[in-house]
Amino acid sequence: MQQKGIFAIGGSSRQAYISEEEFPSFIQQVIFSMTSSDKTTQTRLMSSDFTEIEPTASAPFELFALWMADAEQSELNDPNAMSVATVDGQGVPNVRTLLLKGFDERGFVFYTNLQSNKGLELLANPFAALCFHWKTLRRQVRVRGPIEQVSDAEADSYYQSRSEGSRIGAWASQQSRPLESRADLERAVDEYTKRFAGKDIPRPPHWSGFRVKPTEIEFWHDRPYRLHDRIVFKRSDFKSKSWDKQRFNP
């Protein structure tokens, strides 16, 4: 598959796992050569590949959009899934998987309960790291930078786009707090369902979104023998329109 001359990926490979007892070593070498050759084809880069992209103000966001579009075609579930890392008051990191809900040149947006562990950690230490891993494409993107809370208008707009059940759930779940039983959660859902029956369901005051304003975006692609490509875009400040691009050792 080829996307706008940026990147080419060949067909998938099937690898067999064979013990030494089953086949002599020279047969294993032949099999390894075949699978390695196929992998080389699968991850071959064209001359106009992503490593050659110029570090314009919009370049990393345009490249991310291309890779996300590819992931939407190849990933079975949630191509917008990402790991989100924060740090607690003792400097201990936390990481969890969330869904990206929007991105542009301002940054990458996700939504959460502000009283959850991640919400409290982000409010206390307004920095985050993201990681997207698309296994079918053998690609990864890492993002780091400060965060800001999205506007009420943005949060309201996204909240109203959610299903009724998800809007009720935002009221019913006291996220990250102890829960005695599943039945307690279901009772809370029933209570809020009755409270808002036939009415608009407003966004809870403790529920909003965060935008990660990147100062660093790394694009990683698998290559044979773990000699991967890593291209990093960096800028000194999230307000800057100027990016520095650097290749890193795998």
- How far CA 226 is from CA of 36, 128, 152, 221, 229, in Å, comes to 11, 27, 45, 10, 9
SS3 212: strand
The residue annotated as part of the active site, out of 226, 230, 235, 247, is 226
Burial of 115 (0-12, 13-18, 19+ CB in 10 A): middle
- Rounded distance, CA 41 to CA 36, Å? 9
Please spell the DSSP secondary structure of 71-124, one letter per residue. Answer: HHHH-SS-TTEEEEEEE-TTS-EEEEEEE--EEETTEEEEEEETTSHHHHHHHH
223 is catalytic: no
Active site residues: 226
